[in-house]
Amino acid sequence: MAESYLVLDQVAKSYPRPGQPPLRVLDGLDVAVEEGALLSILGPSGCGKSTLLNIINGLDDATSGTVLLAGKEVTTKTRSGVKIGMVFQQPRLLNWRSVRENVALPLREMGLGTDEIDARVRRYLDIVGLSEFSNYYPLQLSGGMQQRVSLARGLAIEPDLLLADEPFSALDEISARKLRQEFLRIWDRTGTTILFVTHNIREAVFLSTRMLVITARPARVHLDLPVEVPYPRRPDDDALFELEKSVTRDFMRMEEETGLTEIGS
């Protein structure tokens, strides 16, 4: 069996609170992800998904446990040893810079030469279907197009791992549906390993090779489920719909049990 590409080994995170016990956010997460996977992470609001992404991204350290990416430990001190791309809920583009300049910005920070930067910008704008808009400015684009620029920027560094934090949640459903299809096309073309955080069970089922459902804080793995429906997928596929219903029932049951536990405590 091939070695896992991303490994979370008993990752836990607590924050100190004056005069109170520490606030436990993550409670010993054990996850192993294969290279090229598209893993969705679902959980209740406030369960620690953003904290987990920050730890994987090397922006925060776990209280205990380790994160390994391609065999390298990721911490705040070692994050420069790996390349991790990020796509956010909002595009976070610089409105006074052109599309081309926005995608080039992290490449300049990496110290790449001009020819390499130009080649990568052209390649990834072509992949997201925005080559003809390279000289436009963000405010001249639709919300969906801005998010595709953000995706091109995240991919242009040719990351070891791409973290997507609810990238379509601010879009209307029609735009989001189109971008999910585009996202799968881009993932298939690039082969990038992706962690995709979402509150949308239908979205997770449609996109993922695998789904990870985590509990309310302190977060633990509640469900680790492969999505074995073959690609390309259709939103109206009965197999996806049945899986969505099953995960929804399980998710609601988990939240009910968590609520009962909190009342009992």
> What pLDDT, in 10s, does the model give residues 17-40?
999 999 999 999 999 999 999 999
> pLDDT tens digits, residue range 228-261?
999 999 988 999 999 999 999 998 888 877 665 4
- Of 61 and 170, the structure prediction assigns the larger pLDDT to 61
Quick one: pLDDT band at residue 45, thresholds 50, 70, 90? confident
State residue 121's pLDDT score.
Answer: 97
Answer yes or no: is pLDDT of 227 > 60. Answer: yes
151 vs 162: CA distance, rounded Å: 9
For residue 259, the model assigns a pLDDT of 61
Q: What would the DSSP string read from start to end of the chain?
A: -PPPSEEEEEEEEEEEETTEEEEEEEEEEEEEE-TT-EEEEE--TTSSHHHHHHHHTTSS--SEEEEEETTEE--TTTGGGS-EEEE-SS----TTS-HHHHHHHHHHHTT--HHHHHHHHHHHHHHTT-GGGTTS-GGGS-HHHHHHHHHHHHHHT--SEEEEESTTTTS-HHHHHHHHHHHHHHHHHH---EEEE-S-HHHHHHH-SEEEEE-SSSB-EEEEEE--PPSS--TT-HHHHHHHHHHHHHHHHHHHHHHHHHHH-
Contacts of 159 (CB under 8 A, 6+ apart): 83, 84, 85, 192
Cα 29 from chain centroid (whole Å)? 17
Residue type, 133: F
Q: pLDDT tier at 79 (50, 70, 90 boundaries)? A: confident
Position 257 scores a pLDDT of: 75
Higher pLDDT among residues 132 and 252, named by residue: 132
Evaluate if residue 42 carries a pLDDT over 50. Answer: yes
Separation CA 91–CA 100 (nearest Å): 14
